[in-house]
């Protein structure tokens, strides 16, 4: 029952979407009035605001310059501004400043896009998959094993490795789906727990003879065979066919969600599982399928991390923070495959630029994490951005409401 909305029937003749109040030329130039334009306003402003806040943080944590304020404020202020400028220059150049930088961006974007798709599919079905990290780990280990255990022709070997990655990632993901479907256990907790379990499992496996590099005592795996390493796309930079695979995944996810009957079920159950049940859908089974597909995508991401970059070996926790970044991506991309692609490219750029920023200007990579978090906040609470910049909301915007409590 809607609370606060008009109690029963609204009057039949609906108003057309109101005029947003921008001057006409502005709308034509920026496309703000159109619906794609609408969708872009908040994300762009979010990025902008995040950059500003990031700059402030850089200034406030530059201890040397801060001390300088005591002696000569003018000098110090200049130092601060220069510091921010250098940082962001490094960021920008590192992201798109050269073919090598662009290649680096695409390279960083690849796992993010895949992981983001995994989370986005979950969101569409009403499931919060925080377990991408764990699914990447398990899927990645499977691909790794195929990678160093055989010697096969290039194409076959790579396909086999990815297949293993998909299957095992899917299996790991479906555990949470099964728990949710059969017992109602909330996937937020189960996936986080499974993350930790996967982490420790990988720790352990990397010390067993099965996986451990011969002659090593520390947890590190054997090296992937030449025939399973992903070939690079261009002579400069590191981007490899993993990026193409990510693109394929984007289109596949789009088709799945919006053109297939399976995706129709996912979306229906995501919005309203009761209606799904009434319509004859097997909701528990759908939860398992969604988590399996999601886990499979994460498995590809994990495999990508091991097969696509030096040293072609696994270290503990090789999935890093990709799982959490993926949540940001899915939100930013509004859980739409193309949105995730765009967001992934953006974050890839931030990553590549961030590395450059760390190397050249000495700013820790974590700043990018902070900016990511800020961007998510602004996306998830568009009100915040709008009230800062005094913009009106478009008609009938769906609040991003996913939580239905813990209930089974």
Partner 1 sequence: MTDVAVSTTEVKARTTSEQRRATIVGVALIALGGFVFWAFGLNVAGDLDSTFKLSLPTDRFQGIEWTVNTQLLGFVVAGILAFLGGVVLRRSHLKWTNRILAVGMVLFVLAFLAWAAGGKSFSLVGMLRSTVILSVPVTLGALTGLMCERVAIINIAIEGQLLTAAFVGTILGSAFGPWVGLFGALVSGAVLGGVLAVLSIKYRVDQIIAGVVINIFALGLTSFLASRVLAEAPHFNSPGRFTPWPIPILSDIPVLGPMFFDHSFFVYGMFILVIVIHFGLFYTRWGLRSRSVGEHPEAADTVGINVYRTRYRNVILGGLIAGFGGAFITLSQVPRFEENITAGIGFIGLAAMIFGRWMPFGVLGAGLVFGFARGLQTKLGILGAPIPSEFLSMTPYIVTIIVVAGVVGKARPPAADGQPYIKD
Partner 2 sequence: MQREAGLELELRGCSKQFPGVLACDNVNFTVAGGEIVALLGENGAGKTTLMNILYGLYTPTSGMVLVDGVPLKMDSPADAIAAGIGMVHQHFMLVPVFTVSENVMLGVEPVGRAGWLKQAEAADVVREISGRYNLEVDPDAMVEDLPVGVQQRVEIIKVLEREARFVVFDEPTSVLTPREVEGFFDIVRGLKEDGKGIVFISHKLGEALEIADRIVIMRAGRTVAEVLPGEVSEEQLAELMVGRPVDLVVHKEVAKPEGVVLSVDDLVVFDDRDQRAVDGVSFEVRAGEIVGVAGVQGNGQTQLVEAITGLRQATTGSVSIGGTDVTGDTPRQVHKREVAHVPEDRQRSGLVLPFTVTENTVLDSYYAPPISRGVQMDWGAARERAERLVEEYDVRTPGIDALVSTLSGGNQQKVIVAREFERDITLVIASQPTRGIDVGSIEYIHARIVEKRDAGAAVLIVSSELDEVVGLSDRVIVMFDGKIAGEFDPAVATTTEIGLAMLGSEAEAS
Q: Is 147 exposed, middle or buried (0-12, 13-18, 19+ CB in 10 A)?
A: buried
291 binds, among partner 1, partner 2, none (CB under 5 to 8 A by kind): none
Q: How far is CA 179 from CA 172, 191, 293, in A?
A: 12, 10, 16
Which residue, 209 or 401, is less far from partner 1 as judged by CB? 401
Residues that bind partner 2 (CB under 8 A): 1, 5-12, 14-15, 259-262, 264-265, 267-268, 271-272, 274-280, 282, 396, 398
**Which is nearest to 306 in space by CA: 234, 249, 228?**
228
Residue 331 CB, nearest approach to partner 1 (Å): 7
Separation CA 216–CA 194 (nearest Å)? 28
Residue 72 CB, nearest approach to partner 1 (Å): 22
14 binds, among partner 1, partner 2, none (CB under 5 to 8 A by kind): partner 2
93 binds, among partner 1, partner 2, none (CB under 5 to 8 A by kind): none
Residue 200 CB, nearest approach to partner 1 (Å): 4
153 binds, among partner 2, partner 1, none (CB under 5 to 8 A by kind): none
Helices 99-124, 241-259: inter-axial angle, 10-degree rounding: 30
404 binds, among partner 1, partner 2, none (CB under 5 to 8 A by kind): partner 1
Q: In the Cβ-directed half-sphere of 29, how many Cα atoms lie within 13 Å?
A: 5
- Draw the binding track, 113-132, toward partner 1 (x: CB under 8 A; -: no contact): ---------------x-x--
280 binds, among partner 2, partner 1, none (CB under 5 to 8 A by kind): partner 2
- Draw the binding track, 306-345, toward partner 1 (x: CB under 8 A; -: no contact): ------------------x--xx--x--------------
Q: Give the H or E element holding residue 276.
A: helix 273-278
380 binds, among partner 2, partner 1, none (CB under 5 to 8 A by kind): partner 1
Q: How far is CA 105 from CA 230, 243, 304, 316, 334, in A?
A: 17, 11, 15, 24, 21
**260 neighbors 96 (Cβ within 8 angstroms):** no
Which residue, 152 or 381, is less far from partner 1 as judged by CB? 381
Which residue has tokens 């009434």? 278
**246 neighbors 109 (Cβ within 8 angstroms):** yes
Site for partner 1 in 166-225 (CB under 8 A): 179, 183-186, 188-190, 192-194, 196-197, 200-201, 203-204
Residue 4 CB, nearest approach to partner 1 (Å): 4
**Which is nearest to 404 in space by CA: 263, 277, 266, 269?**
269
Which residue, 13 or 64, is less far from partner 2 as judged by CB? 13
61 binds, among partner 1, partner 2, none (CB under 5 to 8 A by kind): partner 1
Which residue, 39 or 279, is less far from partner 2 as judged by CB? 279
When binding is defined by CB under 8 A, the residue of 75, 218, 226, 366 that contacts partner 1 is: 366
Which residue has tokens 């961006």? 105
Query: Which region, judged by CB under 8 A, interacts with partner 1, from 36-44, 102-110, 305-313, 358-366?
Result: 358-366
Separation CA 35–CA 380 (nearest Å)? 18
Which residue, 4 or 70, is less far from partner 1 as judged by CB? 4
Q: 156: which residues sit within 8 A by CB, 6+ positions away?
A: none
Which residue, 74 or 408, is less far from partner 2 as judged by CB? 408
Which residue, 160 or 384, is less far from partner 1 as judged by CB? 384
Separation CA 291–CA 175 (nearest Å)? 8
159 near partner 1, rule: CB under 8 A: no
**137 neighbors 214 (Cβ within 8 angstroms):** no
Residue 139 CB, nearest approach to partner 1 (Å): 19
Is the dihedral angle over the CA atoms 391, 51, 374, 348 positive or is it negative? positive
Which residue, 260 or 272, is less far from partner 1 as judged by CB? 272
Q: How far is CA 125 from CA 97, 174, 270, 376, in A?
A: 39, 14, 4, 20
Q: How far is CA 321 from CA 136, 327, 369, 383, in A?
A: 11, 10, 9, 28
**122 neighbors 129 (Cβ within 8 angstroms):** yes
- Binding stretches for partner 1 (CB under 8 A): 3-4, 57, 61, 63, 128, 130, 179, 183-186, 188-190, 192-194, 196-197, 200-201, 203-204, 324, 327-328, 331, 363-364, 366-367, 369-370, 372-374, 376-377, 380-381, 383-384, 399-408
């Amino acid at each position: 029952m809607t609370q606060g909305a008009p109690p029963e029937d609204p009057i039949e003749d609906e108003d057309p979407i109101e005029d947003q109040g921008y001057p006409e030329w502005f709308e034509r130039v920026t496309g703000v009035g159109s619906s794609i334009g609408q969708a872009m306003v908040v994300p762009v402003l979010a990025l902008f605001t995040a950059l500003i806040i990031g700059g402030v943080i850089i200034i406030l944590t530059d201890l040397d310059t801060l001390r300088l304020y005591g002696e000569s404020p003018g000098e110090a202020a200049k130092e601060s501004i220069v510091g921010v400028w250098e940082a962001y220059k490094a960021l920008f150049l590192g992201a798109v400043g050269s073919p090598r930088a662009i290649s680096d961006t695409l390279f960083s974007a690849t796992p993010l896009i895949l992981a983001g798709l995994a989370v986005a599919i979950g969101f569409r079905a009403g499931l919060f998959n925080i377990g991408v990290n764990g699914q990447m780990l398990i899927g990645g280990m499977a691909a790794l094993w195929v990678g160093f255990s055989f010697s096969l022709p290039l194409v076959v070997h790579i396909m086999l490795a990815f297949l293993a990655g998909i299957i095992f990632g899917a299996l790991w993901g479906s555990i949470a789906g099964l728990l949710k479907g059969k017992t109602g256990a909330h996937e937020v907790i189960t996936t986080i727990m499974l993350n930790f379990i996967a982490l420790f499992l990988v720790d352990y496996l990397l010390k067993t003879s099965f996986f451990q590099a011969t002659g090593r005592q520390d947890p590190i795996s054997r090296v992937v065979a030449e025939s399973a390493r992903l070939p690079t796309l261009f002579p400069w930079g590191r981007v490899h066919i993993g990026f193409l695979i990510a693109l394929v995944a984007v289109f596949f996810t789009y088709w799945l969600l919006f053109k297939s009957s399976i995706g129709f079920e996912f979306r229906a159950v995501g919005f309203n599982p009761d209606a799904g049940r009434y319509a004859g859908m097997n909701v528990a089974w759908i939860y398992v399928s969604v988590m399996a597909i999601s886990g499979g995508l994460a498995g590809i991401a994990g495999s990508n991390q091991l097969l696509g970059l030096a040293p072609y070996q696994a270290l503990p926790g090789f999935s890093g923070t990709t799982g959490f970044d993926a949540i940001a991506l899915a939100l930013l991309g509004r859980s739409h495959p193309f949105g995730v692609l765009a967001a992934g490219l953006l974050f890839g750029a931030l990553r590549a630029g961030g590395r450059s920023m760390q190397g050249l200007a000495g700013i820790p990579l974590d700043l990018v994490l902070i900016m990511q978090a800020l961007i998510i906040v602004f996306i998830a609470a568009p009100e915040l951005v709008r009230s800062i910049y005094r913009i009106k909301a478009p008609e009938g915007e769906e609040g991003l409401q996913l939580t239905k409590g813990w209930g089974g």
